[in-house]
Amino acid sequence: MNKKRISIILSGLLMMTMVSCTNKDNISISLEDNKARVIENIQAEGTWATDYSRNEVQNLHEEILHRIEDICTILEVQDEYSLHEEVKDENGTTVNRNGLYLEIPEPESNRIESMTYELVQYGNDLSSGKLVLKIGFNLDNKAIKEEGEFKFENTAIKAFSEAFTGEENRDYTELNKEIYDIITNSSGVNKIENKLDGLSETITITDDYLIYTLESKEYKFK
């Protein structure tokens, strides 16, 4: 899998939930059963909220891409990823995607199945852009319940997330509790949303799958 499965899950989530934003913090909250849980609001405005130029974003992208490739080598999956650059029309807008796609054939339970990291730029003149990391993760709910805990820091998601942010000292205690609570006490599609130093982090959880998304704001290039 893959991009198709992730797209289906995220599309289903959009159809199932109505979303509103608080005017104070711009935090999205599901109106159906409160399924979007905001568990951290770490610097809703922060480093990544800076109005970076195109060159600055390009430099950040190259640094992140290099760190992600290093992680792939450490995890011994360097033969499973490919670099790509594509330009296509998406909903009437020209979109340029430059990045890396990783897909693990026959992934084990509680392991990453796929990962995409990209610099996404919009318009024929590339007038805006953002950085996006998206990871698909196979969940074995039964094993997690038997273990009695979920530890984000023991997954490869942590390594790729930190390769994006450049920060290695995050406390995952509350995030672990919320993910485990969803796995043990909820069904269907649930979502956790955080702000991390100006980045948007979303964790979407189904009965057997987790989608991790980390993205910057859309920078307007002048």
| Structure token digits, residue 78 | 């360097």
pLDDT in tens, 3-55: 555 554 545 444 443 333 333 333 333 334 445 565 555 555 899 999 999 99
Q: Which pairs with CB-CB distance under 8 Å and at least 24 residues apart come from 120-124?
A: 120/95, 120/96, 121/95, 121/96, 122/93, 122/94, 122/95, 122/96, 122/218, 123/93, 123/94, 124/94
Give the model's pLDDT for residue 187. Answer: 83
Q: How far apart are CA 38 and CA 141, in angstroms?
A: 22
Give the model's pLDDT for residue 2. Answer: 57
Instruction: Looking at 75-170, list the stretches that DSSP marks H as alpha helix, in order from N- to C-terminal side.
Output: 141-147, 156-165
| Low-confidence stretches of the chain (pLDDT beneath 50) | 1, 8, 10, 12-34
Overall residue count recorded for the chain in this entry: 222
Give the model's pLDDT for residue 202. Answer: 97
Give the model's pLDDT for residue 23. Answer: 33
| Structure token digits, residue 83 | 């670099």
Give the Cβ contact number of residue 123 at 10 Å. Answer: 13
Give the model's pLDDT for residue 40. Answer: 54
Beta strands in 177-218 (DSSP E): 190-196, 199-205, 209-215
Give the model's pLDDT for residue 188. Answer: 87
Give the model's pLDDT for residue 42. Answer: 52
